[in-house]
């Protein structure tokens, strides 16, 4: 008899024994975990480990080869408005001349202009979310005039405006300086607490996230480990995951993984 608690499978994310890959090549196998409402999970792992592909699986953009995936108790499906997604490689440059507030509005109705939300309600929603990400002061600016950190805040606002229960952020901290990264992390962390949004944030550097995340999902070598940072980012867990001796050195409250690509 199993002593595991019976899952209702209605969590933001439920995966059991999942395998995915491309053209016969397995990227991840036996992936089993759940993510609860309001949880902040960092997704880590070396290039090619399958982090982006995992998000695409949850978005219904690819299918798994084995196992079971549920998002809020349903099979993943494209266009699920319950999920907010900020992709890894964004070409905000295409929106160079667009005003910040209009870019955020795209999150309500995609890249379509014209009838959608009534304009007063739309304006109120945009104002509220801009305030939430502290971007009110440049609401009227063109996106092209803004810094990387300011654009990231808009990107977050664009994701949040549709009020998702699950937010997938693929490397939102790339190209940000320490202060910029810290600001995004603080915003996301507050969001998990206030809106009870579950967040999966992909990154290559756990350190700025250490004080904020509930758990870490670490992908490597076709396998994964999940748990609080103090149990996952350890010599023991990572050496098993990579099937290779790994050292974790701690200094000044930071963790440094030695011996492998991270």
For ligand ATP, the closer CB: 27 or 103: 27
Interface with ligand ATP: number of residues (CB under 6 A): 11
List binders of ligand ATP among 153-212 (CB under 6 A): none
Q: Per CB under 6 A, which region of 44-52, 94-102, 222-230, 247-255 contacts ligand ATP?
A: 44-52
In the list 33, 38, 52, 106, the residue contacting ligand ATP (rule: CB under 6 A) is: 52
Q: Report, in Å, the least distance between residue 27 CB and ligand ATP.
A: 5
Phi, psi of 99 (to 5 degrees): -70, 150
Tokens representing residue 103 in the block: 């870019």
Phi, psi of 33 (to 5 degrees): -170, 165
Q: Report, in Å, the least distance between residue 68 CB and ligand ATP.
A: 20
Tokens representing residue 251 in the block: 């200094």
Residues lying near Mg ion in the complex (CB under 5 A) are found at: 51-52, 88
For Mg ion, the closer CB: 58 or 135: 58
For Mg ion, the closer CB: 88 or 243: 88
In the list 15, 18, 27, 70, the residue contacting ligand ATP (rule: CB under 6 A) is: 27
Q: Report, in Å, the least distance between residue 194 CB and ligand ATP.
A: 29
Identify whether the C-beta of residue 207 lies closer than 8 Å to the C-beta of residue 249.
no
d(CA 197, CA 163): 9
For ligand ATP, the closer CB: 21 or 149: 21
For Mg ion, the closer CB: 84 or 172: 172
221 is an interface residue for ligand ATP by CB under 6 A: no
Identify whether the C-beta of residue 17 lies closer than 8 Å to the C-beta of residue 30.
yes
Q: Report, in Å, the least distance between residue 174 CB and Mg ion.
A: 10
49 binds, among Mg ion, ligand ATP, none (CB under 5 to 8 A by kind): ligand ATP
For ligand ATP, the closer CB: 146 or 173: 173
Q: Alpha carbon of 189 to those of 166, 192, 199: distances in Å?
A: 13, 5, 9
Query: What does the per-residue mask of binding to ligand ATP show for 81-120, with x meaning CB under 6 A?
Result: -------x--------------------------------
In the list 18, 41, 45, 143, the residue contacting ligand ATP (rule: CB under 6 A) is: 45
For ligand ATP, the closer CB: 5 or 24: 24
Please give the residue ranges that form the binding site for ligand ATP (CB under 6 A).
Answer: 22, 27, 45, 47-53, 88
């Amino acid at each position: 008899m199993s002593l595991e608690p019976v899952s209702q499978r209605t969590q933001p994310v439920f995966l059991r024994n999942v395998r995915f890959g491309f053209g016969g090549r397995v990227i991840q196998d036996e992936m089993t975990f759940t993510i609860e409402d309001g949880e902040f999970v960092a997704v880590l792992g070396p290039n090619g480990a399958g982090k982006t592909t995992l998000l695409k699986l949850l978005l219904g953009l690819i299918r798994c080869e084995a196992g079971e995936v549920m998002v809020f108790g349903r099979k993943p499906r494209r266009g699920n408005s319950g999920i907010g997604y900020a992709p890894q490689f964004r070409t905000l440059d295409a929106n160079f001349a667009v005003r910040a507030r209009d870019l955020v509005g795209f999150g309500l109705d995609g890249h379509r202009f014209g009838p959608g939300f009534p304009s007063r309600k739309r304006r109120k929603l945009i104002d509220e979310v801009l305030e939430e990400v502290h971007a009110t002061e440049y609401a009227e600016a063109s996106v092209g005039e803004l810094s990387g950190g300011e654009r990231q805040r808009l990107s977050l606002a664009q994701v949040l405006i549709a009020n998702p229960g699950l937010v997938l952020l693929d490397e939102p901290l790339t190209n940000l300086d320490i202060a910029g990264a810290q600001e995004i992390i603080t915003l996301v962390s507050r969001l998990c607490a206030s809106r009870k949004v579950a967040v999966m944030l992909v990154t290559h550097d756990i350190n700025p996230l250490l004080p904020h995340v509930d758990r870490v999902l670490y992908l490597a070598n076709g396998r994964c480990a999940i748990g609080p940072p103090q149990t996952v980012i350890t010599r023991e867990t990572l050496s098993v995951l990579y099937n290779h001796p790994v050292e974790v050195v701690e200094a000044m409250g930071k963790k440094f993984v030695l011996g492998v690509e991270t």
